[in-house]
A and B are shown apart, each in its own frame.
Chain A
Amino acid sequence: MTAPSLSAPFVEGLQRGEIRYQACIGCGAAQTLARYACRACGSAQLEWRTAGGSGRVYAMTSVARAPSEEFRALAPYTLAIVELQEGPRLMGHASPDVRIGDPVLAHFFEFGGRRLIRFTKEE
């Protein structure tokens, strides 16, 4: 049996409709992506927590030139980096009307056999 990848809890979370992020058991810092150690204090004692799904748009683009045949069917599509309320940043799709600074809420959609995140404006 192969060991699960470092990001497996995040990927599994998506399948269950949860957004998971890494946090340090020692200092409590939440961090973006997956690491073997805490970026803030260096501790290797990390755990995965579930985020509430709300955050603010940190950066965004509208992709006109998709990188593959599969995604050409979806183009143009909006990608955003959202700063979650819990702190970590997360890339996802977004509705085209979102702008930097907007409060957004995460939803899920199925595409190409996987579940992806789509952020929409929080009313």
Chain B
Amino acid sequence: MKQAYIAGAGNTVFGRHEGSGALDLMAQAAQKALDDAQLGRADIDGVLCGYATTLPHLMLSTLFCERFSLEPAYAHSMQLGGATGCAMLMLARELVRTGRCSNVLVVAGENRLSGQARDSAIQTLAQVGDADFEVPNGASVPAYYALLASRYMHETGLTEEDLAEFAVLMRANAARHPDAHLRSAISAKDVLASKTICAPLKLLDCCPISDGAMALVVSAAPRNATQIAIAGAGQAHRHQHLSAIADTHNYGARDAARRAFEEARLQPADIDYLAIYDSFTITLAILIEETGFAERGGSAQRVRAGDFAPAGPLPLNTHGGLLSFGHSGVAGGMGHAVEAYRQLSGRAGDRQVESRTRAFVHADGGVLSSHVSLVLARED
């Protein structure tokens, strides 16, 4: 089969875009991605788009295509929670590899912050819980993750101080990105002193709700001298609901990562950049540990050692992740891949880390429910 390459990326600033709708934001990011890939509208023969909680339309992809003046040969939207972005990239890769499409635009965005009341956003998201067994208790996504955290910390010895390290690192990274939502420096002390949301998770353990959009183009032919291939992809879906989690040693991330590495014919030791979903600090710790980039319970030690810092051996979410770049739904989960692409292709501007060749990208949706792993590889 053919190889599939990331040919271009675009994003809006994350934060508050008062008055902009989901399509407005998606169009901005998509235009930037097309410009970056040096492609015209007529070159795009596939469109995949994420859902938008502020625009629950039956056919978001074709609505977007009409507004953005695209007439692709293949289009639909996808819903897989936070894993949607990576799942769309995986599918875009398959569409290109099989020859179905030549240039697939993957786009998502919404006005999740300014387009609705905070309670409304929180309640929409809480519905990933079971409608009869979980949601009626007054549960929410932070509560699901706090419950998850309590168990994982009980089993591994991971502490609240450990989790705070991730929030500090993500904020420091976001401070170097002009488009990030939250850029003012924080200390571990600030994280620990921030108000409790759902113990043990405090405000600064949680990502913000943001407005914003992201877009990537996946192509059969690379557009630049430095080619970034999607060399492997894998998924795993072991449960939907928190209550149904059977194995805290394998929520599914391990299976997804193994499948992606097997396909790429690479190993975790070959990776020199990490792009890992971080809806909460605990999410990041668990995913790093389960995918093999730290011992179980040992991820914070690696943060303290500087291993995941921009100048370390495994730079992590150098855009600031969901925790500080921001979370606008599907677009938030695409941000990690967008940044990995920019770092690998040497086009991350002032944030550029030392030359990197292989990135591991991972996202989860729901309550560590759906997992998608990607391996990106630079071909010079």
Contact = CB atoms under 8 A, between A and B. Distances in A.
Interface string B34-54: 000000000000000000000
B132 A64 contact: no
Interface in B156-178: none
Interface in A55-95: 58-71, 74, 76-77, 79-81, 89-93
B243 A65 contact: no
Contacts of B119: 67-69
Given A32-B243, A64-B195, A66-B138, A59 B148 contact: yes
Contacts of A51: none
B123 interface: yes
Given A33-B130, A100-B154, A81 B242 contact: yes
21 contacts: A7-B130, A7-B132, A32-B244, A33-B133, A33-B244, A59-B147, A59-B148, A59-B150, A61-B149, A61-B199, A63-B139, A64-B195, A64-B199, A67-B143, A79-B138, A79-B147, A81-B151, A81-B243, A89-B243, A100-B151, A114-B136
B148 to A, nearest CB: 7
A92 B199 contact: no
A5 B196 CA distance: 36
* Interface bin, chain A: 35 or more
A34 interface: yes
Contacts of B134: 91
B102 interface: no
Contact of A116 (B130, B137, B151): B137
Contacts of B154: 59, 100-101
Contacts of B146: 61, 63
Contact of B243 (A66, A68, A90): A90
A66 to B, nearest CB: 6
Interface string A88-123: 011111000000110000000000001010000000
B59 interface: no
Contacts of B130: 7, 33
Interface string A25-51: 000000011100000000000000000
B197 A91 contact: no
B140 interface: yes
Interface in B122-142: 122-123, 126, 130-134, 136-140, 142
Nearest to B119: A68
